[in-house]
Structure 1
Amino acid sequence: MNPFDLQVNGYAGTDFNGDNLTAESLHHACEALAEDGCAAILATFITDEIPTLERRIGKLVELREKDELARRIITGIHIEGPFINPIKGYVGAHPPQAVKPANVDDAKRLLAAAGGLAKLVTLAPEHDEGSKTTAFLASQGVTVSAGHCDPSLDQLSAACDAGLTMFTHLGNGCPIQMHRHDNIIQRALSLNDRLWLCFIPDGVHVPFFVLKNWLASIGLERTIFVTDAISAARLGPGRYTLAGWDILIGGDLVARSPDGTHFVGSTVTVPRIKANAYAELGMSEADLKQVLDVNPRLAISM
């Protein structure tokens, strides 16, 4: 098994979204990922102002190019935002002041900063007028994923028609309380034949009994497990960062916002995902290979 994690914001004390990324810290993160059995990742950048994203993405691309291990581990970039829903509950840990409607011009700037490494973009279909940005990204060979969003079923279906093929960390990036039937989780589940559905299997972002119900309903053929790891992953309690967030990790190792109202990424690792899958989800080695290795590569055509 060669796990491929599509959503890694940072690892082992290194924040990919920070302004202090160095060659040493990037190499350290990649060493830790390799030691934990993660064969490849998409380094993930969350919402910020476009120039800031360009600078941070460009810095990682520059450092990666000079490091053989980083080139092997970081096979691409996942840009999560800024084209998401700014409403509280949907915006999650992303700074709402930097959120903006999807547009092709800014998408081109972000792709240029990534230097051909952008493999996945998460956006809100309801904030992509006419699905123009989705169609553009798909035409460039970028996998487009819905996330931090609340499109109607018609809007989500139209985005699929335009090239959207994935949903980012389903069950998160949405309010705790929603309509019991017509909500974004149910809409995405109803389109599971058209969407790769990603989950964070840490028992915190989605309780294990809920995830078991969903997996029993949709099967593993379109399921992907991700960590959504931040810099605190692999480490113990303490203070860490994700972009502009100052995060205090307590004894439960849950990454929460300073006010405690929502999660800010995860501290789960691939070894922990495996342990959870065996003990809590009743999955086999073959099942894990599908959701950690095979499906992620199929989803972004690697």
Structure 2
Amino acid sequence: MSRAKFIDVQINGYYGVDFNQDDISEEDLQAACLGLERDNVESVLITIITDDVARMSARIARITQLRANDPLLQRMIAGFHVEGPFISTEPGYVGAHPVTAACQATWDKTAPLLEAGEGLVRVFTLAPEQDVDQLVTRRLVDEDVIVSAGHTNATLDQLDASLDAGLSMFTHLGNGCPRLMDRHDNIIQRALSRSDRLHFGFIADGAHVPFFALKNYLEIVGLERAFVVSDAIAAAGCGPGVYALGDQEVTVGEDGVPRAEDDSHLVGSATTMQQMAKNLRFHLGLTTSQVESLTRVNPLQFLGLYMPPAPLRVKVPSQNGGHQATTT
């Protein structure tokens, strides 16, 4: 029996390799992709996080260049997930991103990021309140880029306006927000109130979202509109230690969770997709088929890379002696 394959649409690094380093080497990128392949990950969207736009663009361009000449990288890297820089500057909502680089959205700052990816930017996370009049959201959608809300404290009106402009996803729901918020009117509840219009990413490591809460979220959202991401940093698959994420140094403790030095927030994940699939089975009681939907089928469908097989139509005898078609 073949092992399950995974699609990870949000990953910042792997096996000691940080995807947000400047001038990443071909050897490092190959080593990370080989590690992912060994861990049964089929393909990924490399995530480039908030920084100066010129540095973000250079990082995207470097990986795009390396990918163009390497069959392994072409097979493993389906594209990019750009997370920022158009995110909230409010404490808590900015998360592990450098607040000094977070800013309002403009097309002049967006275009270089898309150009650097040469058509490979597939998902763009932004805060709706940072996209005044939704001009960038509309243009990204016109460029066939999936726009996702994340690291945001958007009001319901701002979220609705962004949805009307083409927003279709929410990045790692339950994270990218403060530990203490209004008990009812908060970004999690606002997003869940629009669950019929959004696809939701979740980090299933048990640290970013407790398993009981993840179960509640999945019941509200519905498994068909949800998917799991690792949000892994270079620590994934390596164990405790100090690892890089862009210009930051992140410490992973014995519990395997990357945290900021002051413990004010988490900094990505160190959990593999393999472990997250196990978590879904053993902590949430999901079936193998349900886990596959969350970790492979749904992200592929959402990205337009997968079409389910057509129903098999067979002829069965009808009561009048003829035949009628039925779908199985």
TM-score where L is the length of structure 2:
0.91
SS in 2 for 1:83: coil
**What CA distance in whole angstroms lies between the structure 2 residues aligned with 1:216 and 1:121?**
26
In the alignment, the residues of structure 2 paired with residue 152 and residue 236 of structure 1 have an alpha-carbon distance, to the nearest angstrom, of 39
Aligned-residue identity in percent: 47
Deviations 1:22-58 (A, max 9, x none): 1100000000001101101000000000111111111
The residue aligned with 1:284 is 287
* 1:210 maps to 2:209: no
Contact 2:83/2:126 (8 A) holds in 1: yes
Match of 2:190 among 187, 190, 196: 187
1:227-266 equivalences in 2 (<5 Å): 227-266=230-269
Match of 2:133 in 1: 130
Query: Residues of 2 paired with 1:298 and 1:162: CA distance?
Result: 21
Query: Are residue 15 (structure 1) and residue 29 (structure 2) matched?
Result: no
Letter in 1 for 2:250: I
SS state of the match for residue 298, structure 1? helix
Structure 1 stretches of 4+ moved >4 Å: none
CA contact (8 A) 1:48 1:99 kept: yes
Count of matched residue positions in the alignment of Structure 1 and Structure 2: 302
Separation in 1, partners of 2:131, 2:220: 29
Which residue of 2 is the match for residue 102 of structure 1?
105
Matches of 1:37 and 1:202, distance apart in 2: 17
Matching residue of 2:168: 165
Name the residue aligned to 2:314: none
- Contact 2:156–2:190 under 8 Å retained in 1: yes
1:48-59 aligned within 5 A:
48-59=51-62
Per the TM alignment, residue 221 of structure 1 is displaced from its structure 2 partner at its CA by: 1.1
Distance 1:113 1:52 in 2: 11
- Please tell me the residue identity of whatever aligns with 1:218: V
Q: What's the counterpart of residue 47 of structure 1? A: 50
Aligned to 2:114: 111
Contact kept in structure 1, 2:277 and 2:295, CA below 8 Å: no
Alignment-derived partner of residue 81 in structure 1: 84
* 2:203 paired residue number: 200
User: What is residue 308 of structure 2 aligned with on the other side?
Assistant: none
Q: Single out whichever of 284-293 and 85-94 deviates more from structure 2.
A: 284-293
Aligned match of 1:93: 96
Query: Residue 259 of structure 2 aligns to a residue in which SS?
Result: coil
SS in 2 for 1:272: helix
Aligned AA for 2:107? V
Q: Distance in 2 between matches of 1:266 and 1:224?
A: 16
| Cα pair 2:23 2:62 within 8 Å, conserved | no
Task: Compare relative contact order (CA 8 Å, sep 6+) and give the higher one, 1 or 2.
Answer: 1
> Which residues in structure 2 correspond to 1:142-181 (within 5 Å)?
142-181=145-184
Provide, for residues 275-297 of structure 1, a one-character-per-residue CA deviation record: whole Å limited to 9, x for no partner. 10111011111101111111112
Q: Deviations over 1:71-130 (max 9, x none)?
A: 101001000000000111000000000011011111111100111100000000011011
1:297 to 300, 316, 320: 300
Query: Distance in 1 between the 2:147 and 2:225 partners?
Result: 15
* Contact kept in structure 2, 1:151 and 1:184, CA below 8 Å: yes
Which whole-Å CA distance do the structure 2 matches of 1:85 and 1:102 have between them? 11
Rounded to whole Å, the distance in 1 between the matches of 2:263 and 2:73 is: 34
- Segments of 5+ residues of structure 2 without an aligned counterpart are 306-328
Question: Any conservation in 2 of the 1:92–1:173 contact (CA below 8 Å)?
Answer: yes
Contact kept, 8 Å, 2:173 with 2:202, in 1: the verdict is yes
Corresponding residue for residue 36 of structure 2: 33
